[in-house]
Structures are given as structure tokens and as C-alpha cells.
């Protein structure tokens, strides 16, 4: 197991731990929290290229990385080389330090548009996309993909070799096929085959939920780093735990509830700043449900009920103080 700096193109990262892009989850407020808790890199939510270039408000909001610490990584998605190239150029011109291309999203809606992990069925199209994007930006381009379209077609090593030959700067591989979606357990044998096939910096992704998982996956795959997705939802401090475990061989566990509560309040402040009190409360519910995992079972259920019924972020903030900071459920 190893904690080490990682270099992507001209950017030196503090360590080899990254937050995976997750639609609806890795908005700017959460990305900033994860960086503060030790992630060496965070990646934006997937931004549909066509929607962004058409001026869609939600897509443009996803591309907003004001006040984020560098390097800023923006993930773009789509199936048309010209549109992806234009989206990459648009984001690079507005301060993106890294452009990540999505070959991993298993969503039916995305795959119907021949985007996301559907691209893994068409290596020739992947080549045209990479060539188009690399031709128009001078920032490093990275690629996130799955192991293949289905278990009979695990072509991640072939796409990785193509990407390296064309000049892609780094890769992240999720240990499932598109057909697997998020079912079953991630497998790391294919990621190890990618490691053997290329010399690019490589993040292994999938089912890393505890520090010992990170150490095991690094050992099994030979990857340079770990990219964490769902395991960090509601637990941005997981990066600090992994960082300590890889550096010292010790896991101090999750922080005290009061510290967790302070982090949740910081997250709510960020969400309210981006979306306002009413819309922010609706968008915060999924985050708060995940944070509830740190509470005892009975308190967690009561907390979820309370925050889901709240109409404003201010009401949710009060619930966080009562459950995490004051721990009023102890006296109940």
C-alpha cells in the first residue's frame, strides 16, 4: 500500500486519492469539502456537452468551479467528437485545468445517446473523440471508463492502449462493466490488465468504502491511485482516513459526531449559497440522508424524516445542530 503524490500532465497532486464524478452528488460544495478532507483531486459532475453548449442552466451550473482549489477537473460527456471538442475548449478557456471524458456512465438515458459507457462498444468512435478533443486543448485530457460493455467484452485494456498512444494524460477504471451497472462486487483483475498494458497514471475505482479497501485494491491492481465514488457520499472524511492508513498503517475511524456535524453544516452553507434556501433544501436531502449513516439507527431514521420534511436549508441546519452537535436524541 502506498500514499504518494501523483503528477497528471503539468499538475502535481498532493496525493493519489481522487473523488469520482457522480451526477447529482459531486457538486461544487461537496468537491470543496472532499479536498479539505484530503482528496488530491476532485472531478465535476458529468456535464452533457450538447446541453452545456446550448446554454442549459443546469449544465452551466455544473461547469461552475468558482473558488475551487486547483487543479480543476471538469468531466464532459457525449458521443459526437465535434461537440465534445467544443465543450472541452469552452471549459479550458474558462479555467479548467484538466478535461475528463466520460466512458463510464451506465445510465440508460446516457447510453441511448451513444455516450457514457455505450462508447466502449465503438472503439473507432472513441478514437475520433480523443483525437478531436486532444487537438483543441492544451490542458491534460483524462479518461474515465468501465472494464467493458459486458462481461464478454472487457476491452478496457485496448482502449487504454489507444488512449496512451494518442496522448491522454491519465486513466480511471471502474471495476464493473456497463451491464453490471452498480450490482454485485467490483472486480480488479481487468484493472490490473490495464495497468500491465499502459504506463499512464491509473486510478482504480469501485467498492472502496474503508481504508483497508484502498490498500487492498492498490495491491491487487498495481494502480497508482484510488478514485472513490459512492463510498465518500456522506463521508468526505474517508479521504483523511485513507490518507492516514496508507501513510501510517493506522485507521483512526470516523471523526466525532460534532466534527461530522460541522462538516454537514459547511456543506449546507455551500448548497444554500449555490441554490438558495428552498431549492437548496430539496437538493440537500440526498446528501443529508447519506450523512445520517453516522448516527445510531433510531436517530438516523428520525433525522432523515426531519430533514426530508424541512422546507428550507435553515430548518435542515437546525436539525443538524440538534442531532449531531447537541445530540439531543441521547436524552430522549
What's the pLDDT tens digit per position in 70-129?
999 999 999 999 999 999 999 999 999 999 999 988 766 766 666 788 899 999 999 999
Q: Phi first, then psi: what are they for 73, rounded to 5°?
A: -110, 125
Domain assignment present for residue 1? The answer is no
- CA-wise closest residue to 239 among 224, 228, 225: 228
Residue 105 is among the residues annotated as catalytic for this protein: yes
From 215, 248, 281, the end of a domain falls on 248
- 212 & 269 share domain: no
From 248, 265, 280, the end of a domain falls on 248
* Over residues 164-177, mean pLDDT: 97
How far is it, in rounded angstroms, from Cα 178 to Cα 201? 23
Domain assignment present for residue 179? The answer is yes
In this prediction, residue 260 has a pLDDT band, given cuts at 50, 70 and 90, of very high
- 134 & 185 share domain: yes
Among 1-15, 64-78, 173-187, 210-224, the range with the most confident prediction by mean pLDDT is: 210-224
Domain assignment present for residue 93? The answer is yes
- How many domains, in total, are found in the chain? 2
Q: Domain span at residue 322? A: 257-330
pTM (2 d.p.):
0.94
- Catalytic residue among 105, 115, 160, 171, which? 105
Phi-psi map region of 209: left, alpha, beta (phi>0 left; psi -120 to 50 alpha)? alpha
- 168 & 297 share domain: no
- b/e code 196-206 from CB counts within 10 Å (16+ = b): ebbebbbbbbb
Residue 1 reports pLDDT greater than 60: no
- The predicted-structure confidence for 47-56, as pLDDT tens digits, reads as follows 999 999 999 9
- Residues in the chain, total: 332
By DSSP bridging, strand 11-13 and strand 6-8 are antiparallel
In this prediction, residue 61 has a pLDDT band, given cuts at 50, 70 and 90, of confident
Amino acid at each position: 500500500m502506498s500514499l504518494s503524490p501523483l503528477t497528471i500532465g503539468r499538475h502535481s497532486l498532493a496525493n493519489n486519492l481522487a473523488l469520482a464524478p457522480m451526477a447529482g452528488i459531486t457538486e461544487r460544495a461537496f468537491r470543496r469539502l472532499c479536498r479539505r478532507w484530503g482528496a488530491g483531486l476532485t472531478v465535476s459532475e458529468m456535464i452533457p456537452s450538447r446541453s452545456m453548449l446550448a446554454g442549459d442552466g443546469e449544465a452551466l451550473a455544473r461547469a461552475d468551479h468558482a473558488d475551487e482549489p486547483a487543479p480543476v477537473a471538469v468531466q464532459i460527456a457525449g458521443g459526437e467528437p465535434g461537440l465534445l471538442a467544443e465543450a472541452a475548449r469552452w471549459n479550458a478557456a474558462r479555467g479548467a485545468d484538466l478535461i475528463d471524458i466520460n466512458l463510464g456512465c451506465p445510465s440508460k438515458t446516457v447510453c441511448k445517446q451513444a455516450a457514457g459507457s455505450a462508447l466502449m462498444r465503438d472503439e473507432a468512435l472513441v478514437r475520433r473523440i480523443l483525437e478531436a478533443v486532444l487537438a483543441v486543448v492544451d490542458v491534460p485530457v483524462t479518461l474515465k471508463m468501465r472494464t467493458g460493455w459486458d462481461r464478454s467484452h472487457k476491452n478496457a485494456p485496448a482502449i487504454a492502449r489507444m488512449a496512451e498512444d494518442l496522448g491522454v494524460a491519465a486513466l480511471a477504471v471502474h471495476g464493473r462493466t456497463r451491464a453490471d451497472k452498480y450490482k454485485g462486487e467490483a472486480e480488479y483483475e481487468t484493472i490490473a490488465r490495464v495497468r500491465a498494458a499502459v504506463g499512464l497514471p491509473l486510478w482504480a475505482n469501485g467498492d472502496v468504502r474503508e481504508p483497508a479497501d484502498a490498500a487492498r485494491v492498490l495491491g491487487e491492481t498495481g494502480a497508482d491511485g484510488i478514485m472513490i465514488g459512492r463510498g465518500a457520499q456522506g463521508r468526505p472524511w474517508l479521504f483523511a482516513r485513507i490518507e492516514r492508513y496508507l501513510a501510517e498503517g493506522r485507521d483512526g475511524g470516523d471523526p466525532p459526531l460534532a466534527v461530522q456535524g460541522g462538516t454537514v453544516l459547511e456543506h449546507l452553507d455551500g448548497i444554500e449559497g449555490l441554490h438558495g434556501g428552498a431549492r437548496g433544501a430539496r437538493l440537500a436531502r440526498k446528501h443529508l440522508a447519506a450523512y445520517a449513516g453516522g448516527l445510531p439507527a433510531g436517530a438516523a431514521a428520525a433525522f432523515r424524516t426531519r430533514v426530508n420534511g424541512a422546507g428550507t436549508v435553515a430548518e435542515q441546519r437546525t436539525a443538524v445542530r440538534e442531532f449531531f452537535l447537541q445530540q439531543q436524541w441521547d436524552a430522549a
